[in-house]
Amino acid sequence: MTGLAYALALVTGLGLAQCLAGWILVARFAARVTTPPARFPPVTILKPQKRKFWVQKTDNSKAAISVNWARDLFVAMGDPLGESAWSMRIQYKPLVRYIWLGALVMAIGGFIAATDRRYRVKVPATASDAVAAPPGGQPKPGIA
């Protein structure tokens, strides 16, 4: 296999691993909070907040964010659903850091291409590139 095929196989494998990790993460959060499973320790503890401003008569949600090299996890509280029950928005975003890594790789590639010697060395002009005289030998008056 070529290097490109190996790279594509690696990216595909990482995508499948991230999908499996997301499924496990959802299974962890879907469990009841009162009885955490002993097999799976919590990934992180996030504390989103729902704030009420009485003077302005507005509600505000503060999201809790967990950042890792392999994923970002956002949790935000929604509206109350009833007695001690809230709607929650959980967003799992895998491989977000690799977006920035890709931009860094492109910048390094642009720098290497810009410093290539072929762009800095002047190529000498050949005889075929020189401007030829008109067929009569003498230029017409008034024409440069």
Which residues lie closer than 8 Å to 28 by C-beta, 6 or more apart?
Answer: 37, 40, 42, 43
Phi and psi angles of residue 69, each rounded to the nearest 5 degrees, phi first:
-65, -25
Phi and psi angles of residue 110, each rounded to the nearest 5 degrees, phi first:
-65, -40
Residue bearing tokens 């009833």? 82
The Cα–Cα gap between 93 and 101 comes to 16
Handedness of CA 114, 118, 121, 126 (dihedral sign): negative
pTM of the model: 0.46
**Number of Cβ within a 10 Å radius of residue 43:** 16
Instruction: List the chain pLDDT tens, one digit each, 144 residues.
Output: 466 656 655 556 555 556 555 656 555 555 445 555 567 777 788 888 888 888 888 888 888 999 888 889 999 988 888 888 888 899 999 988 888 899 999 999 999 988 888 777 776 666 555 565 556 666 666 665
Domain ranges of the chain: 1-40, 44-121
